[in-house]
Every structure is written in C-alpha cells, then in structure tokens.
Amino acid sequence: MKIGKGTVNEIKSDLANVEADFTALTAQLHGEFSAQTSALKSALDALKTAVSNLTAHFSVSAVKGVATALGGVATASSALLASLAPQCGSASASPSP
C-alpha cells in the first residue's frame, strides 16, 4: 500500500466521519459507559493529532504514529463494544472492518 497526499486527505475525511458518528453514539448513550467512551475519545484525539502530524511532516515516523494511534482506537472501540454487547445482544465484541 502506498501512502501519499491523497491517502492522507482520505484518512482525514474518514476520521471526521468517525468522530461525527462517535458524537452521535455518545449522545444516545446518555452518559452510560463513560469510562469506555472517554477512552475511545482519547484514542480518537490521539489519532487526530497523529494525522495532523502526518499532514504537516510527511515521514515514515509520522506514518508509524498514525498506525500506533489506530491501534489505540481499535483497542478502545473493542472495549466499548464488549461493554455494549450484553445490552445489544451481540455475540462478538470485535469491530467489523
């Protein structure tokens, strides 16, 4: 996979969509699962910072920063999904690709 300027713009757009969906989800939860939503918010903020760094200073190091931040988002979202699963009737806490 090649990562270039267009890819960075696509990542920024996708992240904005995820943030909007997350905001809607937290509103629907009405403060429930605050530990999990706070962790995911922090992970998304870290990803946003990493993407901003990638935009400003495109480098291998910045790409690694985005990859690391994505791992944090995956971990936090899995924890939130695991917490929601009993109420939603889901058998799996794994996010789908």
Average pLDDT of span 15-31: 95
How much is the pLDDT for 86?
85
**DSSP labels, 76-89:** HHHHHHHHHHHHHT
| Distance, CA of 86 to CA of 92 (rounded, Å) | 10
Residue 87's pLDDT is 81
Domain ranges of the chain: 5-85
Q: What is the mean pLDDT of residues 16-43?
A: 95
**The predicted structure's pLDDT at residue 94:** 55
pTM (2 decimals)?
A: 0.84
